[in-house]
Amino acid sequence: MSIQNRPLRAASKLARSLHTSASFRSSRNASLCRINAANMHCSQDLSHVLSVHSNLISHGLVNVHLGFSDDKSQYLQQLILQLHKRHGHGLPIDHSSSRGWFWDVRPTPEEQVQINSSAKSETPSPSPRARSETMMSFPWHTDCSYEASPPRFFGLHVLQPDRCGGGVLSVLAVENLVKSLSPSSKEILSKPYFRIAVPPEFVKNKDERHITGSLLHEVSSGAVSGANPWLRFREDVVSPLSPEAATALADFKDILHGPQIQEKVLHLTPEDLPQGSVILIDNRRWLHARNEVKDPGRHLRRVRWDAIPFTADGGVETVAGGAG
């Protein structure tokens, strides 16, 4: 090989290593876009970043398989920075007053929880733990539903999957739920008739303990494709503020937990999301849940980004203090 050809060959080899291909795993009513990242350079590659962005906008659900070791989640951090720079995504948000962009999700066995709860009274109480940090199941929800500006996207980097078959991530498209709602329920859910409490572990400002707002927002025609409809929901922090709101919320939960909607759920087992997987989800267009974790060594790393007001007009919702 001549010296003159070496740069060309090297460039060709780099191009092949950065090649981005997208495939889809489909169930009856949902599809998962799969993209390969051969090396860390993919997080800076324009075509790779564009593929991730385009599929997030069109599908709202993207699985990236990393072909390299990345214990510090540098790929995910650099990818989000490029999405911000190239495609206008908002930067990541802090998880709480004491945690930054990334949150290590490591469950604590229930036996340890019982030991902590039976400790001597003089032992300092542990800080409130997020539901995702336990081994309990986590029912259907969207992340940060208690914030006036929830993140549009979140990502999970699988550092250690559940080796005992638990911790299955399930996802459900919001549009499948909304199609089954009555017009009256959709109207009520779209009004600020709900009190949403901030879980103690996610309090960022001690004077902001809950918000009052809507749970559903149907984007008007002409809005950005893929943004219709929006939902925020976590059952254990939502309280209706009127009889009409209570009826609409009950209608929503009946559909969510009903047998027909189960046909539309996509279950992602540890085989679907092995070590080195990154799952990116549109937090307003997809609900997610998790069954019981069976492996105390399960370890994910989470990041949330692109926080914008839940209401389309950017209106500020009521934010209230107090512990009530």
pLDDT digits (tens, 9 = 90+) for 92-116: 998 655 567 898 998 765 434 443 4
* Residue 294 belongs to some domain of the structure: yes
Q: Which domain holds residue 188?
A: 21-320
pLDDT score at 107: 73
User: Does residue 4 lie in a domain region?
Assistant: no
Sites in the chain below the pLDDT cut of 70? 1-30, 95-99, 108-128, 219-227, 312-324
Burial of 38 (0-12, 13-18, 19+ CB in 10 A): middle
Three-state SS string across the chain, please? CCHHHHHHHHHHHHHHHCCCCEEEEECCCCEEEEEEECCHHHHHCHHHHHHHHHHHHHCCEEEEEECCCCCCCHHHHHHHHHHHHHHCCCCECCCCCCCCCEEEECCECHHHHHHHHCCCCCCCCCCCCCHHHECCCEEEECCCCCCCCCEEEEEEEEEECCCCCCCCEEEEEHHHHHCCCCHHHHHHHCCCCEEEECCHHHCCCCCCCEEEECCEECCCCCCCCCCCCEECCEHHHEEECCHHHHHHHHHHHHHHCCCHHHHHCEEECCCCCCCCEEEEEECCCEEEEECCCCCCCCEEEEEEEEECCCCCCCCCCEEECCCC
Dist. CA 20–CA 49, nearest whole Å: 9
What is the reported pLDDT for 40?
A: 97
**Contact in structure between 21 and 35 (CB atoms under 8 Å):** yes
Tokens, residue 38: 């051969």
pLDDT at residue number 200: 84
What is the reported pLDDT for 96? Answer: 57
Report residue 253: phi and psi, to 5°: -70, -35
The residues that bridge with 299 in the sheet, in sequence order, are 160
12, part of any domain: no
Q: Which of 25, 306, 309, 312 is nearest to 155 (CA)?
A: 306
Q: Flag whether 252 is in a domain.
A: yes
pLDDT for 298 equals 94
Residue 94 carries which side chain, given as an amino acid letter?
D
CA angle 200, 202, 207 (to 5 degrees): 70
Could you tell me if residue 161 is inside a domain? Answer: yes
Residue 207: the pLDDT is 76
CATH number at residue 249: 3.60.130.10
Cα 310 to Cα 18, 55, 170, 191, 277: the distances in Å are: 36, 22, 23, 12, 29
Q: How many domains does the chain have?
A: 1
Q: What is the pLDDT of residue 20?
A: 52
| Residue 14 within any structural domain of the chain | no
Length of the chain: 324
| Distance of alpha carbon 191 from alpha carbon 214, whole angstroms | 5
Instruction: Quote the pLDDT of residue 228.
Output: 74
pLDDT digits (tens, 9 = 90+) for 215-270: 999 865 444 444 479 999 999 999 999 999 999 999 999 999 999 999 999 999 99
φ, ψ (nearest 5 deg) of residue 140 = -55, 135
**Of residues 31, 80, 28, the one with CA closest to residue 53:** 80
Q: Is residue 135 part of a domain?
A: yes
The token pair that represents 15 in the structure block: 């191009």
244, 188 contact by CB (below 8 A) = yes
Residue 13 covered by a domain: no
Judge whether 198 and 146 are in contact, CB under 8 Å: yes
Is the Cβ–Cβ distance between 172 and 140 less than 8 Å? yes
